[in-house]
Each structure stands twice: as structure tokens, then as C-alpha cells.
Amino acid sequence: MKALASLKLTAAALGLLAAGVLWAYFERAQSVPALVAPMALLALNLGCAIVLNPKFRAQLPLLVFHVALLVLVLLAAAGRLTYLNGRLELATGEAFTGELLDAEQGPLHRPRLAQAAFVNEGFEIDYAPKWKRLETRNVVRWRTARGEETGVIGDQTPLVLAGYRFYTTSNKGFAPVFVWQRAGAAAQRGSVHLPPYPVLQFAQQVQWILPGTERGVTVRLPLDEELIDYERASGFRLPPRRDVELVVDGRAHVLAPGASLELAEGRLRYEGLTTWMGYVVFFDWTLPWLAAAGALAAAALGWHFWRRFAARPWNEAR
Amino acid sequence: MHEAPLLWSALLAYVVAGSTSIVALALERRADRSILALLALGLGLHGAALAARWVAGGHGPFITLFEILSSNVWSLTLVFTLAYWRVPAVRPAAAFVMPVLFILMGWLLVAHPGEGHFPPTYRTLWLYVHVGLGKVFLGAVLVAVGLSGLILARLAAQGLEELAFRFMAIGFVFETLMLVSGAVWAQDAWGRYWAWDPLETWAFLTWLSLAAFLHARVGFGVGPRASAVMIIGVFVLAFLTFFGVPFISTAAHKGAI
């Protein structure tokens, strides 16, 4: 037990943790055990030191600092078990109903995304010359117990609903809106998200399978001009000409907003062009506790050294 | 006011101050007042150069290599000058600290002074908090490095090792705060508080090395010379983290310290 509380073990465990960090940094494989094992050893070492070392217990700020570090590690572990990290895209006017494009989550995450419903009401993005992206302002609307609320999010201002934090991303583009009327079925309205703009400005087309069929359609947005001025300050905007080109069975059809295309499987009506925004969503209930534990650790450390150094003047070493 | 003449004048004042400190140490003379006055003059001129650039560019010196080097030369000199002024025992360490700053100044002179893009995620108070804490951390460790130079050159007076330990302890507090504030900023800037990106990884390794130094100093009775070597090791790691990793990394976290 005494060996487990020793400072030699602390030094060894710190060395092992540094080695684990380097392993995770260069190799990536098996990075979790490489980090968790030395952290567990440090936690054990600290626990034993608190119990066995009276000097350690006598220095309250030092004890608080180490316990806060332990709490940080435990919170980070709890966060990894319950976190969620995902991506979604919403066209202007579209509601988020809980479906993600892809997600990673901890084994104990309880999905409550349906409680985080909101509507993307459109965005503005400023650009400096040379397509340097500046501020993003995305208007969002959501429902609370008090009724509907709207707000502006963007860059480092997330929308926080039911503990989920939604951030806008640099991923955004154009979205033609269609109504698909399949023979004998109810009409479906939705949008097709073209590749991100301006990063893929010369590839504004996407393959799309008409819902309920096996019919593939290529949706293309012909752009006659550079919409974001490369030389001057500018902003993200829709093109003045909003026709789209649909390629079906190798034949191109140009549709203006409001026009329809008759196909064997049904009728496809092009409603108009709008934009889509890509979001990331992050859930980790430990965030405020991590911040509090980190602040406490730093404050306790400062307190410890203040007490220690205040006893002897700094210029005594002259 | 133009930035370039102010910056050149400041660098000249720093170089004269540093050279005087080296000569004074070699000849065992004291020129404390002159050196302090030259450092203060350099800081004033350099501060004006940074302010001129800030006004012209509309943002602080956080983006390009030139800006990062320039602001760090200023902040490191400021921390050292404050220590030089308030703690007389630190004064001979100028002969070891200023050559480190000369390296940064030389690098600054060959860096491209052009404008950089100020990303929207930098428009936050956390930028100033995180960067400010990082600068105090590196400044405190630099003072300890100067004292270590004196110890290794066997020019140390009694008690310098304890003084170096105190500056390392200050550095540890400020690095801890830097990591915490950086995590808070990263959460809102990139939607995650920690992602083991190169800069985060190397900053954490620096923190671990500092923690190991403090434990070794307290627990193992490490001698003055070994302690001095460890301090220099921690500084080298911190220096590479601040000035190496951001410029070889392709991650979002470019480390504009």
C-alpha cells in the first residue's frame, strides 16, 4: 500500500502517461488503453497518497488540486460513455426532427434528439476578398414551453436544446426544392443538397434516386457567374438565374422554378432554389462540471503556491 | 505611426540591452539601471509597433508567424523585465535570457510581415484569455531558464534554484489555466473541448513534463544542476509547442498564441 502511495510511482505513472500520449499521437491504434491505464495508475497512486500521507492531507490546497484533477479524469471518462457527436444538414425552412447523417456516441448515450427540434430559417455569410469566410449568421426557430422562439447562431455561438449543442459549419450550399408526385401515392416535398459552395463551385451536381423508385436523376445547377466575388468583400447569395438541369436516361431537361417533368414513375415539379446549412451536434453533460473542476484545480494550485511562497520574500535569494 | 521603424528601434534597444548584460556578466560589472532602461524603452517602442499593426489590420497579433513571433518577443521581454525590475537576483540571468530572445528576433526578421486572415472563431474574449495565460506561462519558464543558465555556468548566488522553482511553479499555474481556457474556447470554436490535435497533445506533454519536474524537485531532492537541466528541457518542449507545432500542423487549431 505504501509503495502505491509513493512519489516514485507518481513519477513513473507521469512518464507512462506521457508515453501513452505519444503512442496515441503517433500510432492511434489502442490509444484508449494507452491513456486510460496510466491515468488509472495515477488515480490509484493519488488515492493511496491521500489515505497514507499525512503531509499531503495537511496541505488542503494541494489536496484540492489533486482531487480536482481526479474529478476531471472521472468526468472525462463519464463524458466519453455518454457523449454524442454527429452531423446534419438542413435546407432553409426545413425542420430538424432528430435524424443525423452520421454520428458517434458513447455506449451509454440516451438519444433525446427528438426533443431538440428546430427549423433552419436561412443564413448570411460575409466574405473578405479571396474567399476568406467571415461571420456566419444563421436564424433558427424552435419551440419551448413558452411558445416559439427565434435566435441567431453561427461560428462559436451554438443553439443549445435539451443539452445538445448545434454549431453551424463551413459546409453549406444550394438546394433545389422538388415536389415528387408518384403515381398512386401522396406527393412528397423535399430538397436535394448540391455539393458545398464555393469550395466545389465547379461540381454543382448530384445523383439522386427518386423516392419509391429505382429511377436515378442527375440534378445540376448551371452557374453563369461567380456568386462570391473573389477580389472584393462579398457575401453568400443565391444565383440570379435559378434554373436547374435534370439528366434522366442521358437526356437533359432544364427546369425553371415552377416547371414540371413528366416521368413514367410520376411527376417531378421544381419549386425553386434555396440553401442548405451543415451543422455538427455535440452532447456532453459533463461540460459545465469539467469547466468547474478545471477552474478549481487551477485556483487550488495558485492558492497552494501562494501560501508556500508568501512565507519567504522573493528577493531573499539575492 | 509606421510599424517598421518602431519595431526596428525596439529590436535595437533589446539587442543593446542584451549585449550589455552579457558584457557586464563577463566583466563582473553591474549595469542594471541601463539594462532596465533599455528594456523598458524597447518594450515601449515595440508596444507602439504592435498597436500600429493592430490598428492597421483591425485585429491583434495572433495570426501570422510574424505576428506570433513579434507578440511573443514583446510578452516574453515584458515578463522578464518585470522580474528583472522586482527581483534583483534575476538580473544576471539577462545574459542567458536575451540570447533566447535574440533567436526569436532573428526569426522575426526573416518572417513575412504580410497580413493574415482573422477567422470568425477568433472573435471572442477567450482568445485574449487563452493567449494571455500562455504568454505568462512561457515568460515565467523563460525566467527560470535564465536562472538555470546561471546555475549551470556556476555563476549562481545562493538560493537561485529556489527562485527558479518558484518561476516554474508560476508557469505551471498559468499553463493549467491556459489549457482550461483553451478547452472552453475549443468547445465553442470547433464543437469539441479536446481532440488530441497536435498542439493540444504537445501542450499537454509540456504540462506533464512540468508536473514531473515539480514532483522531482519536491520528492526526490534533485540537485541544482539536474534541476536546471530539467527546466531547460521543459522550456525546449514548450518552445517547440509554441513555435514549432503550429507551423507543421494541418489541424484547425493553429495555435495563434
Maximum CA pair distance of chain A? 94
CA-nearest of A117, A103, A155, A161 to A277 is A155
- Residue B185, min C-alpha distance to chain A (Å): 9
- Which of A280, A298, A315 shows the shortest C-beta gap to B176? A298
Q: pLDDT band for position B78 (50/70/90)? A: very high
Mean pLDDT of the region B156-185: 92
Element (H, E) at A249: none
- pLDDT at site B154: 82
Grid cell of B22 as nine digits: 552579457
In order of A21, A44, A51, B225, the CA distances from A37 in angstroms are 11, 11, 21, 33
Which residue does chain B place closest to A20, by CA atoms?
B205
Question: Can you spell out the DSSP letters for B187-227?
Answer: HHHHS-S----HHHHHHHHHHHHHHHHHHHHHHS---HHHH
CA-nearest of A63, A75, A139 to A294 is A75
- pLDDT at site B60: 92
Q: Give the span between the Cα atoms of B4 and A312, in whole angstroms.
A: 44
- pLDDT at site A311: 80
Contacts of B152 (CB under 8 A, 6+ apart): B225, B228, B229
Are A18 and B124 inside 8 Å of each other by CB?
no
Which positions in chain B touch A316 (Cβ < 8 Å)? 159
Are B117 and A290 inside 8 Å of each other by CB?
no
The dihedral through the CA atoms of A269, A273, A277, A278 has a sign that is positive
- Residue B106, min C-alpha distance to chain A (Å): 30
Do A261 and A253 touch, CB atoms closer than 8 A?
yes
User: Which residue shows C-alpha cell 445523383?
Assistant: A207
| CB proximity A302 to B under 8 Å | yes
- pLDDT at site B123: 86
Are B173 and A85 inside 8 Å of each other by CB?
no
- Which of A15, A291, A317 shows the shortest C-beta gap to B163? A317
Share of chain A above pLDDT 70, in %: 99
Better pLDDT: B221 or A248: A248
Mean pLDDT of the region B153-182: 91
Which of A6-10, A107-111, B153-157, B177-181 shows the lowest per-residue confidence on average (mean pLDDT)?
B153-157
Which residues of A, range 119-178, sit inside 8 Å of B by Cβ? 128, 130, 132-136, 154-158, 165, 167
Q: Give the span between the Cα atoms of A72 and A85, in whole angstroms.
A: 20
pLDDT tens digits for range A165-200: 999 999 999 999 999 999 888 999 999 999 999 999
